[in-house]
Amino acid sequence: MEFLTRAGRQRYDELVADAAQGVVCLDFDGVLAPIVDDPSQAHIHPDAADVLVDLAARFRGVAVVTGRPCRQAVTLGDLDAVGRRILEAGQDLQVLGQYGNERWSASSGRVVSPRPPRGLASFVAELPDLLRREGLEDAHLEQKSLAVAVHTRRMADPVGALERLTPVLRKAAARYDLALEPGRMVVEVRAPGMNKGNAVRTLQKELHADAMMFVGDDLGDVDAFEAIIDLRRRGMVGFLVCSGSQEQRALVELADLLVDGPDGVMQLLKQIVADLPPPDADAPGR
């Protein structure tokens, strides 16, 4: 492993030593599942199920923290089945969807979701006109219960389109008191007030964790990284991994380790499991 800093190596060692009090947080797209042109065709890495089960047996918590609705992540990741295996081992698997606005856990088996933000329906109704006025009507709209995502990935000039689209959506979203979430060839407009940073802080508090790891690949993960850096300032262990996107400099600059996409993530997670002390040694504190 090539750590980006000397502190990175140390943080890895501390995380491994503190696994029984630690929580592993993993983004879905670009981390557990390769990025694909059509988000509905994403599929989880074939090694992910076994790795998640192994991690859950040894860490205090394992959570998928994603911009996707919980139900989508659970379906695409076959996380129901993974969760059942984790439950059998006496642990739980959590999914925090739509940037933490929604929750699913293997133990509850259901999604808890707030009502859609006020203004979202009106914003969505206005969107086709708005896009047409800007010559962006070819953008792909993805409706979520609490948000709408506008994708430029399949357009003729995805980067140029994204650059034109972002300020237009930002202005319109502000009129409806909605928040803007930029990503890779996508801009999402959603409820304000929640982000992956809050999601991470919630998990840390609920599970009384004193070590947190986050693996992300996109701008939406910066909030989670910053939350963990803040927890680190208060003396907690925090280990940050960027999955394969050199272009997301904002994330790489904060990361302790850069890995090569979902394949690299799986390699890293297997290495962590291999490096953990034997199960009996960390029995107290579970």
Q: Which is nearer to Mg ion, 21 or 243 (CB)?
A: 243
The contact mask relative to Mg ion for 23-52 (x = CB under 5 A, - = no) is: ----x-xx----------------------
Task: Compute CA distances 131 → 65, 179, 208, whole Å.
Answer: 30, 18, 45
Q: Which is nearer to Mg ion, 54 or 217 (CB)?
A: 217
| CA dihedral of residues 78, 81, 87, 92 (deg, nearest 10) | 0
CB of 188 to Mg ion, least distance (A): 12
Closest CA to 79 of 137, 272, 149, 68: 68
Between CA 55 and CA 281 the distance in angstroms is 16
∠ CA 153-119-186, rounded to 5°: 10
Q: Which is nearer to Mg ion, 228 or 236 (CB)?
A: 228
Are residues 196 and 65 in contact, defined by beta-carbon separation less than 8 angstroms? yes
Binding to Mg ion by residue 217, rule CB under 5 A? yes
CB of 131 to Mg ion, least distance (A): 24
Q: Which is nearer to Mg ion, 27 or 188 (CB)?
A: 27
Q: Which is nearer to Mg ion, 203 or 236 (CB)?
A: 203
CB of 191 to Mg ion, least distance (A): 19
Binding to Mg ion by residue 218, rule CB under 5 A? yes
Unique residue bearing structure tokens 């088996």: 109
Show the tokens assigned to 55.
């991690």
Q: Which is nearer to Mg ion, 91 or 152 (CB)?
A: 152
CB of 171 to Mg ion, least distance (A): 26
Q: Please report, as a single letter, which amino acid is at residue 143.
A: Q
Closest CA to 199 of 221, 219, 179, 180: 221
Q: Judged by CB under 5 A, how many residues of this single chain contact Mg ion? A: 5
- Closest-CB residue for Mg ion? 30
Segment lying near Mg ion (by CB under 5 A), choices 72-80, 168-176, 210-218, 246-254: 210-218
Segment lying near Mg ion (by CB under 5 A), choices 8-16, 110-118, 160-168, 216-224: 216-224
Q: Which is nearer to Mg ion, 51 or 222 (CB)?
A: 222
Beta strands in the chain (DSSP E): 22-26, 61-65, 93-97, 102-105, 111-112, 140-143, 147-151, 179-183, 186-190, 211-216, 237-243, 257-259
CB of 185 to Mg ion, least distance (A): 12
CB of 222 to Mg ion, least distance (A): 11
How many residues are there in the chain?
286
Binding to Mg ion by residue 223, rule CB under 5 A? no
Which residue ranges make up the site for Mg ion (CB under 5 A)?
A: 27, 29-30, 217-218
